[in-house]
Structures are given as C-alpha cells and as structure tokens.
Amino acid sequence: MTGAATAGIRAPRFAERLARARAAAGAAGLDALLIGVGPELRYLAGYAALPLERLTLLVVPAAPGSPLTLIAPRLEATPARSCPAAATGAVTVATWEETEDPMALVASVLATATGRAADSLSAVAVSDGMRAAFVLSLQGALPVARFSLASAVLRGLRMRKDSDEVALLREAAHAADRVVEAIAHGPLVGRTEADVAREVRDRLVAEGHEHAEFWIVASGPNSASPHHDAGDRVIAAGEPVVIDIGGQMGGYGSDITRTIWVDGGDPALGPDADFARLYEVLRDAQAAATAAVRPGVAAEAIDAVARDAITAAGFGPNFIHRTGHGIGLEGHEDPYIVAGNAEPLETAMAFSVEPGIYLEGRFGARIEDTVVCGPDGPDVLNELTRELLVVRG
C-alpha cells in the first residue's frame, strides 16, 4: 500500500511522462503542477504513497530544465526515494521534519524552480484529489496564484494508455473474469450477499489483485439499486443477482459486471418473461455500444447507442446512469462515456461500457466490460460471456 513501485510499468516511462506533463503545464500557462498523493503521483513518479495527513507533494515547474522535486515527510524518505522517478534521478526528494511547516519548504522549492518568489506566482494546478486541507494551505502560501485542476493538463496524457498500461488492464480484466466465473458456479441459494462479497474479495486477491476495491452483490429487488452495498439479504432461487466487482493489479483497475439468475436447479424458477426481455434488451444495447467504439467517435455517441436501444424498448427512464467511465490508475477517470462529452475517442483510451436497466422495487440488470479503443474498433478486455449466467444451486 505504500512506496511500492508500479509493477509492470518500465522505469524510463516516468521521465517521459514528467517531460510531457511539464510541457503541457507550460502550454497551459501554468507556473507549476502541484501533485499530491493519488493516482497522478503514481502516474508521474510511480509512487503509491500513503494518503497521510502529512504533506507529500510533487512539484513540477513548467520551465524546461528546472528541477523536479518530490517533497515528502522525513518519515516517508525511504519509500519516496525508492519510487522509480526518484530512483532513476528524474526527481529529487526533499524532506521536511515532523515539527516543521511543510508550506515553507513548498515555497522555497517553488522559488528555486521558478526563479520567482512563491507569493508572486500567478497560476498553479493542483491534483484533483488533493485534500482540501492542503489546497487551502497552498492557497495561503501562494496568495496571488490562480488555482486550477491538474487534470486539465494531465487528462490528455493519462487517457491514452501506453502498452505497459494496457497489458496491466488486460491482466486485471482476465483475473476479474475468473472471479465472476467462479462465483457463477455457485452455490448462491441460502447465502447472504455479504458472504458472497467476502468470497469475491478473497478471490480477487487470490487471482493476483493487490486488493479488492468494490464488491457489489445485489440480489432480488436490491439489483435495482446500481450501487447497492452487499448486505444481510439471503439469496433465494428465482431471482437475479448483479455482481459488479473490481480491484487493482499493478495499480491498474479491473471492473466487470455480470448479471446472474439463480434458479436453484428448478427450471420453473428461471427468469420470468419480463426479466428475460429486459436482459435481452440490455445485452443487445451493451453489445451495440461496444461495437460502436472506434477512434473519432464521440464519447457521448457511445452512450447514445446504448441509451437509444434501451429507450426504443421502453426502458429509457430505467437507465439512470451514464454508460461508462475511463479506467486506469483510477477506477473512474477520463474519458466519461456520457451525454455532453463530445470528446472523440482515440486509440488506447480505456473505459467501461456498462448500461443497466433498473425497475425499482422489482429487479435490475447491468452488463459491464472494460474496453480499449483500438485503431479499428473495440478491444474488449473481458472475455467472460455476456449471456445471462444461470446458477443452479
């Protein structure tokens, strides 16, 4: 959880990414990027730092050739110095002492890097997930600077995955496939959602995930709530279960949803005609949206393909979320596959395609794959069938 190098990403990638990031920051008119603990730090430095209340901050000044500095609490000196960007000399680590004010160090690092007093800097961007406590402190230390979000300059870099990243995403997807397949072998009848969720967590780790991140197990009427928390409800024969699970492998996310029907071995408790029709509409909408993926197609057009198909079948008001989200070092990142996002897809963008149909109080279903936009069409990372999985026990 702390200090680990991003497995599977080759060390020279980080210097390349830092060079591109500072160029993008300069082009955006920024003095510097200020990157706190989180996916941006992992992306730029390979540093999966602990999200402490103590400041860790990567300072990326826009000026070419100026020093790149990773500010870290002294307590974290060892993991900070071991991250690939520091170990390869691309960034220098500067530490602050337990009783010191880290903002003084930030100001001095910025002054050295920019050749200007920190309180005269005019524009900086902070990482999107930076804690408010650090944002307000930085605003105090840089009183005239306009603050914006680093995602504005980093999203273009992070959206386009390199081959190391796609390989990790594929490995994670295959591992998650195997977990859903194992769950769909049953038994499920008589078990609580929480018990199945525990099995999901154990299996994700057993299949090589560093850790499980989410484990939605939504049975019966709970399947109509997209983000249902696995609870004490006991799964019975004659109902659907939505399984939406994922975690990280080498820092990169898996995220798969399959809908299971539990008939308990009794064909009379198979899906009723309403559910069967709903599922067929959903499966075809998900397939059509996936098939529409190719470079140049707007992200929102993928959403529209799924939504139009579902709306045409009369379920429009029951598809209450966007079709997908980017996936990489974050479980949800750019590009978002949603109405209003006219950005064209490009080769090597990675995202989920996951329409759902929810009949509140009755049942719902969702199908989700992680998809990479290939040069000629979709590269679907998940290989598990998208047909309704029927569990006999």
Q: Which residues bind a second copy (CB under 8 A)?
A: 1-4, 36, 50, 52-53, 74-76, 78-79, 98-99, 126-136, 147-149, 151, 198, 201-202, 205, 214-215, 225-229, 231, 320-322, 332, 338-340
In angstroms, give the least distance from the CB of 227 to a second copy: 5
Q: Least Å distance between CB 237 and a second copy?
A: 25
Nearer to a second copy (CB atom), residue 66 or residue 137:
137
Element holding 389 (H helix, E strand): strand 389-391
Contact 316, 307 (CB under 8 A): yes
Sign of CA dihedral 148, 154, 159, 165: negative
Whether the Cβ atoms of residue 365 and residue 357 lie closer than 8 Å to each other: yes
User: Rounded to whole angstroms, how far apart are CA atoms 205 and 104?
Assistant: 42
CB of 129 to a second copy, least distance (A): 5
Nearer to a second copy, 134 or 275 (CB): 134
DSSP 225-279: STTPPP-SPBP-SSEEEEEEEEEEETTEE--EEEEEEE-TT-GGGS--HHHHHHH
CB of residue 327 to a second copy, shortest distance in Å? 13
**Residue 76 vs 379, nearer CB to a second copy:** 76
In the bound state with a second copy, the residue whose beta carbon lies nearer, of 10 and 74, is 74
Tokens of 344: 């064209």
Q: How far is the CB of 200 from a second copy (least distance, A)?
A: 12
Q: Considering beta carbons, is residue 271 or 326 the nearer one to a second copy?
A: 326
Nearest distance in Å: CB 366, a second copy: 12
Whichever of 263 and 333 has its CB closer to a second copy, that residue is 333
276/264 Cα distance (integer angstroms): 17
Distance of CA 86 to CAs 37, 47, 69, 82, Å?
Answer: 15, 9, 9, 6
> Shortest CA distance to 336 belongs to which of 151, 132, 153?
151
**Shortest Cβ 115–a second copy spacing (Å):** 26
Tokens of 149: 């979000």
Read off the amino acid at residue 132: A
Nearer of residues 358 and 384 to a second copy, judged by Cβ: 358
> CB 65 → a second copy: shortest distance, Å?
28
The sheet with strand 123-126 has its strands ordered as 92-96, 69-73, 57-61, 32-36, 123-126, 146-149
